[in-house]
Amino acid sequence: MSSPISPYPVIAIDGPSASGKGTVAARVADHLGWAYLDSGALYRLTALAAQQQDVAWDDEVSLALLAQHLPVCFGEGCVLLAGADVTEAIRSEAVGMGASAVAKLPAVRTALLQRQRDFLKAPGLVADGRDMASVVFPYAVLKIFLTASAPVRAERRAKQLGVAVGSAEYTRILQDIEKRDEADRNRSVAPLKPTADAHVLDTSNLDILHSVQKVLDWYQQI
């Protein structure tokens, strides 16, 4: 099921923040025995590294140079930046907003493009992000746009953080998600939207197991 461009198949899963795409993609990859790419982590890592080095999130030249030489290592269930475990740090809402900001910059996207493609190896790759199907792997054999309503995504994120649903902190999380959605949809470079040939999967009323099975079913139908 490879494409004419790549000898190995790619399943590209795009979607907004907290839609569950990372968990779904990781489990699909595990089921198939394929490699997994969390592309969003690369943008989050760039934003976090910039924050640590006092580089502004709109300094395109400095950010692109930083992205090119990002000292990152993906381990089992962890992400290391310059040897330090930043798995939790890159998942904060503040760094998420930073990732959305740096992702708007063409030079940063160019710097990270080949790094993402280098994750493709035998027997295949499941990649999740915001432009996997449209830009990074347009030749993917299966393209998924995975989404859920903003309140559902905010509830999921709140539960991850141990925040009570309906609290002031939950309201802030919801507002941050809505703000990031707006920024991602309206950016000039690779705006967040499903490609014409993508399967749209709304997980608002689905659990992870059913979401994973749906993706696997679509893959088996290719």
* Structural tokens at position 50: 């910039």
Q: Is this prediction's pTM over 0.95? A: no
Instruction: Judge residue 164's burial from the number of C-beta atoms within 10 Å of its C-beta, 0-12 exposed, 13-18 middle, 19 or more buried.
Output: exposed
Are 104 and 187 in contact by the 8 Å Cβ rule? The answer is yes
Q: What is the mean pLDDT of the chain?
A: 89
What pLDDT does 187 receive?
75
Report the C-alpha gap between 139 and 137 in whole angstroms: 5
Which superfamily, per CATH, for 10-220?
P-loop containing nucleotide triphosphate hydrolases (3.40.50.300)
pLDDT digits (tens, 9 = 90+) for 121-157: 999 999 998 889 999 999 999 999 999 999 999 998 8
Residue from 159, 14, 187 nearest 97 by CA: 187
Amino acid, res. 30: D
Report the C-alpha gap between 20 and 145 in whole angstroms: 11
